Amino acid sequence: MSESVLTEPSESIHTEPAELASSPAEPTPSPAPPAESGGLFRSLRVRNYRLFAAGQVVSNTGTWMQRIAQDWLVLTITHSGTALGIVTALQFLPILLFSVWGGVLADRFPKRTMLMLTQSMMGVLAAILGVLTVTGHITEWQIYAFALLLGTVTAADTPARQSFVVEMVGPEDLQNAVSLNAANFNLGRVVGPAVAGLMIGLFASEITGSGWVFLINAVSYAAVVTGLAMIRKRDLHSERRARRGRGGQREAFRYVRTRPDLLAVMIAVAVFGTFGLNFPVLLPLFTTQVFHSGASAYGVISAIMAVGSLLGALLAARRRVARVRVVLFGAFLFGLGEAAAAVMPDILTYSALLAVTGVCGLTTATTANAVMQTTVAPELRGRVTGVYVLVFMGGTPLGSPIVGWLAGQIGVRWTQSLCGALTTAAALGAAYWLARTTDRQIRTSLLARPHIAVVARPA
């Protein structure tokens, strides 16, 4: 997505909290700092963030290796798209149930300590799964159990990890740091799937190859824990802790209800996350059933899509201010790209269009994350992030089995086209709802500078 696509005419009214004035208690976003400071990688000037990012490079690569190996292991054992959907659903079900609770913990306790604990637990789970797989004792129900346990830890880890970024870099560079985190994550998506596919193919048994991938991922968590341990607490930006007591989760939901801009973002990302981002279910099925290829091809397709996602994250890192309109337009284009990719005739054109789709998807995800963190009260940041994680990732337990079942009923191509169409419709619906709620109108342009904007009605 080019810069020109995401730039609105000067007369557009941005859907920021101060302008919406939906609640007298809303904080005013910090003014954008001068554009000349820092550049694309300006957050890396901060020592604490460099340590954090370095550990994430290693761990994200291992995580994506495990995701590819886990998906392939399930298909090898069960030969079922429904089983693949169930594993994905079990891994994300705890996020649906506990992510807001994880946000409450992130607001009450030191996030660095929480992350050291959760990352260590993830490493232990990967190690146990790897040993069971290499020794040939792995079963279908054990994969389900480990997916559920990993999801439970992730429900506490994700709100703390996402809201910890602002403590390392401060609010001025938050948009940049969030985007670089996404770039870091997708760098792992580029390297991890390709390495995992090659490793699985090296072994006579694909099950044994998957087990060694799990063990390598277990070792990679040591890099994250080491980086967190080296962070200097005195250099962190202090955050006001939430008070102890009941009602912490309800307070986050009440706050979000007063913010039409946040609600519009959540409408779009709910469908985007539930149906649009179900590639862990769709890509293995496309690889095996449509293109009749193996694990190596699956890894390459995943890596190509990740290249587009990496580019989208880097484009988002150039911006200092997160805009709601970027989220909505990015989701709109993502849905169109996903639906178009579904009808591509061969693996080359399919992968190329997925790369373009990845640009739009990561622009949407990183901007939505930054909107949630930069425009809320600091003492609510962890809980609001938990609500966002609930909406964005919590729909996966519902969407994955549905997508897997639909792929078996109407075909993989039709299923992916439907997922793209739903995402596009949700983005348009969110823009329309925001315009109605704030007494504005939707303006679109498909000519010189394609864009979609919610602007003030003419007098």
pTM: 0.68
> What are the residues whose beta carbons fall under 8 Å from the beta carbon of 424, sequence distance 6 or more?
331, 332, 334, 335, 336, 339
What is the fold of 17-27+41-233+247-456?
Growth Hormone; Chain: A; (1.20.1250)
Higher-pLDDT residue of 236, 182: 236
Q: pLDDT tens for residues 400-439?
A: 888 888 988 999 999 999 999 999 999 999 988 888 887 7
Q: Residue 9 pLDDT more than 60?
A: no
* Count of H-run helices and E-run strands, the chain: 16, 2
Per-residue three-class SS string for 22-62:
CCCCCCCCCCCCCCCCCCCCHHHHCHHHHHHHHHHHHHHHH
Instruction: State percent of the chain over pLDDT 90.
Output: 26
Q: Can you give the residue ranges of every domain in the chain?
A: 17-27+41-233+247-456
Nearest residue to 331 (alpha-carbon basis) of 392, 241, 373: 392
Residue entry with tokens 């998506």: 189
Q: Which of 58-62, 278-282, 337-341 has the lowest mean pLDDT?
A: 278-282
According to DSSP, the residues that pair with 453 across neighbouring strands are 443
Instruction: State percent of the chain over pLDDT 70.
Output: 84
Higher-pLDDT residue of 20, 415: 415
The helix (run of H) or strand (run of E) holding residue 453 is strand 451-456
What pLDDT sits at residue 117? Answer: 95
Most confident region among 5-9, 96-100, 269-273 by mean pLDDT: 269-273
Contact 92, 149 (CB under 8 A): no
- In whole angstroms, give the CA distance from residue 350 to residue 356: 10
Contact 22, 150 (CB under 8 A): no
Nearest residue to 280 (alpha-carbon basis) of 14, 90, 102: 90
- In whole angstroms, give the CA distance from residue 353 to residue 237: 41
User: Backbone dihedral region of 346: left (phi > 0), alpha (psi from -120 to 50 degrees) or beta?
Assistant: beta
Q: Residue 246 pLDDT more than 90?
A: no
